[in-house]
Chain A
Amino acid sequence: MRRAILLLMMAAGLALVVWSGWKNWSQRRSAMQAQQQRRVDLMPGMSSADAGDSSAGQSQLRGKPAPAFTLLDLNGRKVSLSNFKGRPLVLNFWGTYCPPCKIEMPWLEEFSKKYAPDGLQIVGITYDSEVGRDTIARDAQQLGVTYPILLSTPKAEKDYLSGTEALPMSFYVDKTGKVIEVTAGLGSKDELESMVKETIAAGGQ
């Protein structure tokens, strides 16, 4: 009798172990699916080609020519995408209210100098242009940014961001003018440099 009870308890214990394992696996699978979805939404450049959500504007740009723009810089001069033709390019949308943007901008400045011999061009595009050139220029100066800072327009935001409000958002454009990577949110400096290198290497010599 006692042996039967013991066996029954062992069986119950085993069932609990199996249930616990299944629950763990199930939760991890859900978490992984959620993470994959986020990569599609936020890091469309890193999602598989068939996983892209066609409603996510930024993912639509991957593999396509960067949309043309003509924007004003902080001195009021017109700057067009075509000014950078043939050069690997990082278009970095940022905002003066955005601390994570200001964490990565000095990194971009560093890469701008480090990879200048490779032709790299970093371009900052200010999302909250309405705060005025003085505020933007003051921020850029405080961050030590010397690469061009342009003022965004609703058209540029529509073409590039398609309603996405998350900043920072960067578009990596190869020498041929094709968007090879799109990222949203702050990543590590190493990740950023790795994407810069990919952009320089892409599009042939």
Chain B
Amino acid sequence: MKATCLNRTRLAFAPIVSLVFILATTAQLGSAQFDSMDTPAKPKSYVFYAAEQQTVPSARRAVLELRFQIVPGFHINSHTPKSKFLIPTALTLQPAPGVQTAPPQYPAGEPYSFPFDPGEKLDVYAGSFTVKLPVVATAGDHAIDGTLKYQACDNASCYPPKTLPVRIVFTAK
């Protein structure tokens, strides 16, 4: 008898739980759809450099990792955009005493198409990306100054090319 009552209770409770779950899920889905329709506010910078102190072995080839963060909702051309008319992301470095650098190594981009033209696939970075910089440095603390040139777009508009100052700090031991 007790078991039957418990089952009844469970049976009576089940639709409520289901209803609550369905409504809560619907609420989340609804808000997710609206979020995806949002175009973010337009900042003046679309890429940020996450400067990290790095330590590498001295007097031999080592690789520094430069992490960049792109403002959510935006993307930038990769280093190898599909069209020669597009501005590639490129890091330019100034000479630094005690440091020899090799050309930066850029990650592969990801395909992107603008609405209303799904046929054209561009090659972009979105979210975050890491540029690898091979160096040979003498022992000690070092700083390499440079700039990252990029050109950003969102899903409907594009913005003029920008130059982001970058200061790479690391220690060679």
Is A96 at the interface (CB under 8 A from chain B)?
yes
Known: A97-B85, A97-B158. A188 touches B116 (CB 8 A): yes
Cβ contact within 8 Å between A184 and B157: yes
How many chain A residues touch B (CB < 8 A): the figure is 43
B38 in contact with A31 (CB, 8 Å) = yes
Q: Which residues of A contact B39 (CB under 8 A)?
A: 38, 42, 185
Let me know if A166 and B42 touch, CB within 8 A: yes
A24 within 8 Å of B (CB atoms) = yes
**A-B pair number, CB within 8 angstroms:** 116
Instruction: Kindly identify, within residues 59 to 116 of chain A, every residue whose CB is under 8 Å from any CB belonging to chain B.
Output: 95-101, 103
Instruction: Tell me, rounded to whole Å, the shortest Cβ–Cβ distance linking B151 to chain A.
Output: 5
Q: Which of A3-11, A46-54, A174-182, A193-201 is near enough to bind chain B? A: A3-11
**Which residue in chain B gives the minimum CB-CB distance to A189?**
B116
A167 to B34, CA, bound (A): 24
Asked whether A13 and B17 contact (CB < 8 A) given A24-B26, A97-B86, A103-B114, the answer is yes
Give the Cβ gap from A24 to chain B, nearest Cβ, in Å.
4
Report the interface size for chain B: residues with CB under 8 A from the other chain: 40
In the complex, identify which listed stretch (B8-16, B64-72, B135-143, B163-171) lies at the interface while the others stay far away.
Answer: B8-16
**Known A165-B42, A186-B157; contact A20-B87, beta-carbon cutoff 8 A:** no
- A97-B156 in contact given A16-B20, A28-B34, A31-B34 (Cβ < 8 Å): no
The answer to whether the Cβ of A155 comes within 8 Å of any Cβ in the partner chain is: no
Cross-chain contact of A165 among B17, B19, B115, B159 (Cβ < 8 A): B159
B107 interface residue per 8 A CB criterion: no
Please give, as numbers and ranges, the residues of chain A lying within 8 Å of B117 by CB-CB distance: 99, 103
Partner of B38, one of A6, A24, A34, A165: A34
17 CB-based A-B contacts, threshold 8 Å: A2-B5, A10-B12, A13-B20, A20-B24, A27-B31, A28-B34, A31-B31, A41-B41, A41-B42, A97-B86, A99-B120, A99-B153, A100-B158, A165-B42, A165-B160, A166-B157, A168-B157
Apart from A20-B27, A96-B85, A97-B161, list 6 A-B contacts with CB within 8 A.
Answer: A24-B23, A27-B31, A31-B35, A100-B153, A139-B85, A186-B116
